[in-house]
Structure 1
Amino acid sequence: MIIYLNPVYVAKGTPLAKAFSLHQYQPVRIQSVVQVIAETRYLNVPIYTGLWSENNTDGYGDYTVHKDYQPEIRNALKQFNKTQNFDLLQPFDRI
């Protein structure tokens, strides 16, 4: 078994984009993704996360919209995807 996390992003022209523009939806925080991954540590199952909006967001509809977004967390998640080393995420686990 492998777990894939794909945090929702707001794609252009979708009902979710309309909700986002009306402040009725807010994308997940990248810190929340780290916390979910940390909770899976003891399952001993590979887990990967999608971190790209594939240029479908108008640049405002993903985890980067949050004031507390830290690019270092995305970099740590990219490395985690390659290595499955939970220690890379520990500094960001409870932000």
Structure 2
Amino acid sequence: MWARAVLCAALLCAFSPTRATEAERDDREVQDSRYNSNRLLGALHEVLERLQTKRINPWEKKYGQVPSCDLGEHCAIRKGSRIGKMCDCPRGAFCNFFL
């Protein structure tokens, strides 16, 4: 009788930590996936911010307004056989028109 009780107690002790370990492992996996998703969302947010700063203003696109150049910056660009404006020179400044 005592042998059966000791055997049952030993089996219960042996299998109990396994269930707790599986539950802990599942919790860790959920936390890791949350951490990874938050990290990926942060990286995506940074990329989108960079892309937004590179956008051309719709006003400039629609009405053909060209941004102003810095001093000494190239104002024209060659597009095949044509030469197009890349930027406008500010008043009272001289820009570099050489291609």
- Please give the range of the TM-score, normalised by the shorter of the 2 chains: under 0.3
Structure whose residues are more often helix by fraction: 2
* TM score, norm. by length of structure 2: 0.21
* TM score, norm. by length of structure 1: 0.21
**Larger RCO: 1 or 2 (CA < 8 Å, sep 6+):** 1
